[in-house]
Amino acid sequence: MEILINELEKLKEELREHNRRYYVEDAPSISDYEYDMLLRRLKEIEREHPELITPDSPTQRVGGEVVSAFASVTHEVQMDSLQDVFSREELEDFDARVKVAFPDAEYAVELKIDGLSVAVEYRDGVLFRGVTRGDGVTGEDVTHNIKTVRNLPQRIDNAPSRLIVRGEVYMPRESFERLNEEREARGETLFANPRNAAAGSLRQLDPKIAAERGLEIIIFNVQLCEGKSFTTHTESLEYLKKLGFTVSPYYNTFKTVDGAFEEVLRLGALRDELPFQIDGAVLKVNELSLREKIGRTTKFPKWAAAYKYPPEQKKTKLLDIVIQVGRTGVLTPNAVLKPVHVAGVTVSRATLHNRDFIKELGILIGDTVIIQKAGDIIPEVVGAVKEERTGDEVEFKMPETCPACGAPVFSDEDEAAVRCVNSECPAQRLRNIIHFASRDAMDIDGLGPAVVEQLVSGGFIRDAADLYSLKQEDVAEIDRMGKKSAANLISAIEKTKENDLSRLLFALGIRHVGQKAGKVLALHFKTLDAVLSASEEKLKEIYDVGDAVAKSIKRWWAMDDSKVLIEKLRAAGVNMESRTTVGSAFDGKTFVLTGTLVKFTRSEAEEKIEALGGKASSSVSKKTSYVVAGEAAGSKLKRANELGVPVLSEDEFLEMLENV
């Protein structure tokens, strides 16, 4: 056993060292494959001897459980925001205010990462807690997700007893582009920029989702370091590097504002080369004792400023406008551009949204157009350079038939969208199946876009119902899908036959029928047959359904292909009834969950409420029936007390469930 323990400790130390070389020094000494083999061996030992697993093990980046809520944490050191400046003149004004009292002050200039600011605390060298900035005074505990950040040490050597550092969590360009490609394949809304994607990932209740997103962090400040002090900011950055943290790859000091401004411009010119988004550069008085003398306003420190870069624009040719058919049949025009390098990537396509957008911009095929990318990775066309027209430009017109299947397209007078209503359209079929299998729909674990695409292209399935007739040997033929993975996928598909009707209604991909509408319809009608046979008037009578949903359901059910799909699902044994219980103490009641629940995850508690006829809401009002308050409940509990809304402890909530 001693030999095994020695091997385990050696593996952990090796992996930490390779992480440091890869992320901090940017000088990896082994291949990705060799690293993966070391990590695999460590996992094998820990799987056989789980008693040897420690929280700081490199395997534990995705070891946490799903949390039910985010607890509030008061920052020990306030996390300030910075005053923004947008021109050299404004930067000189900032400099004048500093130099009038401290003419010898020097500035540290570094990158301003476009991400989510967090404070990370270590106790005796082990990662203890991660908290979002919040309002600067109070943030949210996101420790379960902070542990998934790839280049953040779980443990540091030669550390003080307590250390709090501040950093910016971001999503690398490569990870962001991959994530949006996957979301597009599933027919989901794309993230507008890496910052939004990083913020959304860090606030996931399930750490496995955060881990899939490939988040990284750059540490830029020491908030608290017991037993050690620093003279300058740059000295503290060197200390952080020695501990194994990733700090900004560029930081320099300057005696004059002229030198600082030249550095700001130099860093701005590097934007295309960086693997992450920046939206500016930060100037800070370098000497820490001077910062205390300079002081702060009520909003931000007087010793720092953030220079914000303007949106980057480039001119290029609009070569063509092509149509992409989405999951719901919407025909989206996309600009085909002469490739141009802007904000770090080569842009050759951009969405033009719809026919009205093209009309408002007044662009023609063949125009010279202006492409803009500010904080957004997704490029946008902002206008045409009309003075450069030659007369050979051509007006774009939306097609009258679907480019994917040739069926007539439908144009709704109430919206700008033009759509194909043929459910057998090949462009829609793939996205419909991907949506059917997605997490919030039928939740078929292991059935991602790549697998669906292979099943469709291989002729194994034509629609979502065909999933239930798949055989293990069929799935095993797919690339990277061995016997065990195939068996797991077949088992996951079989398991979804017992899903509630609300999930099936959402999974069918009926336009306007989202998760909420699916739950409302299932609760009211009880069976799928009742939903589909209800008149448009009956559907519209239901609260939260409305005219658009009612029309979409009737239009979808009028198509022969929809009837075939439902009969195939019925024959496969897919549940088409609501599992919701009504007539209980929960029936018609609205519950708000706040604080940290111990016996349930947040989603588990909400599912139980909805299954018993209740409604889970995110905000407290006079119409709220009960507030369930877990540990560290905050503003929602206070609001409930102000309004006189009944408050249940978790035990009282559990007793209420048991008495149903």
Q: Which of 237, 322, 326, 247 is nearest to 286 (CA)?
A: 237
- Crossing angle (nearest 10°) for helices 449-457 and 173-185: 50
Residues 45/51/55/59 CA torsion (nearest 10 deg): 20
- Joined together, the tokens standing for residue 159 give 């550390």
- Crossing angle (nearest 10°) for helices 257-269 and 88-99: 140
227 by DSSP, 3-state: which? coil
The DSSP symbol for 310 reads: P
- Give the Cβ contact number of residue 309 at 10 Å: 19
- 409, 332 in Cβ contact below 8 A? no
Sign for the pseudo-dihedral over CA of 241, 247, 248, 252:
negative
Paired with 380 in beta bridges are 372
- Joined together, the tokens standing for residue 192 give 């507008």
- 170, 113 in Cβ contact below 8 A? yes
Question: 202: buried, middle or exposed (CB in 10 Å: 19+, 13-18, 0-12)?
Answer: buried
- Give the Cβ contact number of residue 285 at 10 Å: 22
Helix (H) or strand (E) holding 355: helix 355-361
Sign for the pseudo-dihedral over CA of 216, 253, 121, 142:
negative
Between CA 240 and CA 182 the distance in angstroms is 35
Clarify whether 112 is annotated catalytic: yes
- Identify the active-site residue in 43, 99, 112, 302: 112
**Residues with catalytic function:** 112
